[in-house]
Amino acid sequence: ILNVEQSPQSLHVQEGDSTNFTCSFPSSNFYALHWYRWETAKSPEALFVMTLNGDEKKKGRISATLNTKEGYSYLYIKGSQPEDSATYLCAYTPGGGGSYIPTFGRGTSLIVHP
Amino acid sequence: ETGVTQSPTHLIKTRGQQVTLRCSSQSGHNTVSWYQQALGQGPQFIFQYYREEENGRGNFPPRFSGLQFPNYSSELNVNALELDDSALYLCASSSGLAGGTDTQYFGPGTRLTVL
């Protein structure tokens, strides 16, 4: 069983604050890491697919970095807005085997207060 | 592009019964994956289908089975339901394998309650 940990489990911030959270995964045999945003009563929405050590991806106020050697990825939100309130999930895929089966973390629940 | 749809939205069954959940993939996608999300957990990979063949299975017993049809829609069948099968079931479609480098598009899920 692969260990994919996300921290913190939940986070409350004020509108305008910048925030970040972590996804930790095994540092050996990396293939890909996916980030998703999941708003209540909606479908999970893909944010980023990250594949290379040192990758940095950005989408509006949200960005992510990847360190495969030490086994972590950070997700940053700059100037949080109430509409950023959601659960943020990461999913790690190891290499080899050919089926590329992802393992999800439990997510970080972000609540942005106006 | 049409999105990923799932039916039904909610379902209540009793122990020992069988259930079929359905998923319509996004247009142009040849891979569909199924996940189980129990309360307080992240989604757990059940299996994926690529061009109508199962391609990868997670740690789920054989009573979880699936099908993918020529139009790439899919079914998840669960036999001999147990209380622990109560969960949200998500499907996702993509152009490539689930954990690969392609984006997955998720449906809204089916909430299954087993009494």
**Binding-face residues of B in 36-75 toward A, CB within 8 A:** 40-45, 48, 55-56, 58-59
Q: Which residue of A has its CA nearest to B91?
A: A43
Confidence of residue A99 (pLDDT cuts 50, 70, 90): confident
Distance CA B5, CA B106 (A): 8
pLDDT tier at B100, thresholds 50, 70, 90: confident
Residue holding tokens 């990868």? B56
Chain A positions with Cβ closer than 8 Å to B: 1, 4, 6, 31-32, 34, 36, 42-46, 49, 51, 89, 91-93, 97, 99-107
Looking at this protein, which amino acid is placed at residue A37? Answer: R
Buried/exposed code over A12-42 (b: 16+ C-beta within 10 A; e: otherwise)? ebeeeeebebebbbeeeebbbbbbbbbeeee
| B52-95 confidence digits (pLDDT tens) | 999 999 999 999 999 999 888 999 999 999 999 999 999 999 98
Q: Closest partner residue to B108 among A42, A99, A107, by Cβ?
A: A42
Structural contact between residues A36 and A47, judged by C-beta atoms closer than 8 angstroms: yes
Report the helix count and the strand count for chain A, using DSSP H and E: 0, 11
| pLDDT of B2 above 80 | no
Digit-coded pLDDT (tens) for A18-74: 999 999 999 888 999 999 999 999 999 999 999 988 899 999 999 999 999 999 999
Please list every residue in chain B whose beta carbon sits closer than 8 Å to the beta carbon of residue A45.
Answer: 106
Band (B28; pLDDT cuts 50, 70, 90)? confident
How many CB atoms neighbour CB B98 within 10 A?
27
CA atoms within 13 A of residue B36's CA, in its CB half-sphere: 19
Contact B55 A4 (CB under 8 A): no
Percent of chain B with pLDDT over 70: 98
Confidence of residue A100 (pLDDT cuts 50, 70, 90): confident
Residue B46: alpha-carbon gap to chain centroid: 7
